[in-house]
Amino acid sequence: MKRLLSVALGILTAIGGFVDIGDIVANTETGARFGMSLAWVVVVGVVGICLFAEMAGRVATVSGRAVFDLVRERLGARLALVNLLASFFITFLTLAAEIGGVALAIELATSVNYLLFVPVVAVAVWLVIWRVKFDLMENVFGLLGLALVVTAVALWRLHPDWGGLLGGAVHPAVPQGEGHPSWWYFAIALLGAAMTPYEVFFFSSGAVEEGWSRADLITNRLNVYIGFPLGGLLSLALMAGATLFLEPRGIEPGHLSQAALPTMLALGKLGLAVLLLGFFAATFGAALETGLSCGYSIAQYFGFQWGKFVRPADAPRFHLVAMVAVAAGALLVLTTLDPITVTEYSIVLSAAALPLTYLPILVVANDPDYMGDKVNSRFTNALGTVYLLLLGVVAVATIPLMVLTKAGS
């Protein structure tokens, strides 16, 4: 019974922890401009993150070591450094976006300028990273993130034309007045938001933090194969809400407040309050994950002691990196750079860096020296290879599309 509860808790936190500021912004903007025509990208992204997160979790569970720990050993210092630099830069940008997202969520509840909250948020994130136990931190923010289920409830209460929404999703077409380059640019943004690299760093490092053994391989699979797709449904609910309310009115969302309009109109004050709690929890939880991922990636590459399973005094360089990353992220937001713009760039650049993150995972997950009999199956390898080819095309196309569409504007 205790085991069952633990698995259920893991699944719930995976659902609640799936959505972050990137998903909120990308899905709302896409729904408002292109309706449900890019919903297929969310599906592609969710399958991709399931595939590679399962691999990363399995690697950590079987070897007892996190991904970056093995990447340097398996691929050599130089190649691993390229991987580290690209991944760290994207994770840092995402961290800044999440800190800004938390401040924006508080601004919506208080109507006080978000910049005033940024230092407070940064200190709170750092304190939680430093002081709060890993499982407590993960469970609290994962479960609070479940508040975003309110977007799906709002959609259901609106009694939409389900056939129309589904039709738009399964017959994707570029809407009138929009160009193909912009459509593809937003497809890349959605993919970047769904497959952002920090998710696998955090997932694999989290498996080590929680001391997973081979007995936990089933937990790994259930968390990934049930939790992430259900989290993906929340992304689709955000997209559908924007499709119903914002697209017909020609609203081009540039603020977090606009992502809340459909839920507010469908469910009123209570729904709005739950949604704002969900925004706060999702962004705060993701700020913790990205802050920790900054520390994980650097510490694992350089071989420093890392993790929250040891006392902070025993992993000083890991905590120092996390602290400096959080402070620098807050400073970036304090330059008054719009957090939504930071988010938009972080998810698109994340898409450009995806092959650098996921190729090493595929290589390590196939190495019998580390994995023994738990190497990838042929099916997993075939699917992984298809995804890497896709991610390669995405990486090549991202920057030209960004220039061509003036970042989707």
Partner 1 sequence: MRRTWVAVLLLVAACTGPVRSSGVYESKAGQTAAAAASAVETAMLAVDGARGGKAYGRYLTQVLVEAEEDAGSAQGTFDGIQPPDQRADQLRGRLDELLDQATGTLEDLRIAARRGRFAELPELARPLPKVAERLGDFAEAHG
**Closer CB to partner 1, residue 234 or residue 266?**
266
Q: Which stretch binds partner 1 (CB under 8 A): 5-13, 103-111, 341-349, 397-405?
A: 103-111
For the chain, the helix, strand and coil percentages under 3-state DSSP, each to the nearest 5: 85, 0, 15
Q: Which stretch binds partner 1 (CB under 8 A): 21-29, 43-51, 101-109, 385-393?
A: 101-109
Residue from 148, 178, 177 nearest 239 by CA: 148
165 near partner 1, rule: CB under 8 A: no
Interhelix angle 21-34/261-302, nearest 10 degrees: 130
Residue from 321, 302, 301, 318 nearest 310 by CA: 318
The least distance separating partner 1 from the CB of residue 110, rounded to whole angstroms, comes to 6
276 near partner 1, rule: CB under 8 A: yes
CA 287, CA 99: separation in Å to the nearest integer? 6
Residue from 265, 253, 235, 44 nearest 152 by CA: 235
The least distance separating partner 1 from the CB of residue 112, rounded to whole angstroms, comes to 9
Tokens of 128: 């939680």
Radius of gyration of the chain (CA): 20
Neighbours of 100 (CB within 10 A): 31
Q: Taking CA 190 as the corner, what is the angle to CA 184 and CA 195, rounded to the nearest 5 degrees?
A: 125
Let me know: does 326 contact 4? Beta carbons within 8 Å: no
The least distance separating partner 1 from the CB of residue 113, rounded to whole angstroms, comes to 10
**Closer CB to partner 1, residue 154 or residue 364?**
154
Size of the site for partner 1 (CB under 8 A): 25
* Contact string (CB under 8 A) for partner 1, positions 245-274, x = contact: x---xxxx-xx-xx-xx--xx-xxx--xx-
Can you tell me which of 177, 215, 377, 378 binds partner 1, judged by CB under 8 A?
177
**Closer CB to partner 1, residue 99 or residue 108?**
108
Let me know: does 105 contact 256? Beta carbons within 8 Å: yes
The least distance separating partner 1 from the CB of residue 401, rounded to whole angstroms, comes to 19
The least distance separating partner 1 from the CB of residue 262, rounded to whole angstroms, comes to 9
Can you tell me which of 1, 111, 335, 379 binds partner 1, judged by CB under 8 A?
111
How many residues does the structure list for the chain? 409
CA 23, CA 347: separation in Å to the nearest integer? 9
Residue with tokens 């070591």: 65
**Closer CB to partner 1, residue 336 or residue 377?**
336
Element (H, E) at 30: helix 21-34
* Contact string (CB under 8 A) for partner 1, positions 210-249, x = contact: -----------------------------------x---x
110 near partner 1, rule: CB under 8 A: yes
Let me know: does 296 contact 201? Beta carbons within 8 Å: yes
Let me know: does 129 contact 288? Beta carbons within 8 Å: yes
The least distance separating partner 1 from the CB of residue 253, rounded to whole angstroms, comes to 8
The least distance separating partner 1 from the CB of residue 270, rounded to whole angstroms, comes to 10
**Closer CB to partner 1, residue 177 or residue 368?**
177
Tokens of 96: 């800044």
**Closer CB to partner 1, residue 161 or residue 338?**
338
Tokens of 149: 């289920």
The least distance separating partner 1 from the CB of residue 130, rounded to whole angstroms, comes to 31
**Closer CB to partner 1, residue 114 or residue 387?**
114
Q: In the complex, which residues of this chain contact partner 1 (CB under 8 A)?
A: 107-111, 177, 245, 249-252, 254-255, 257-258, 260-261, 264-265, 267-269, 272-273, 276
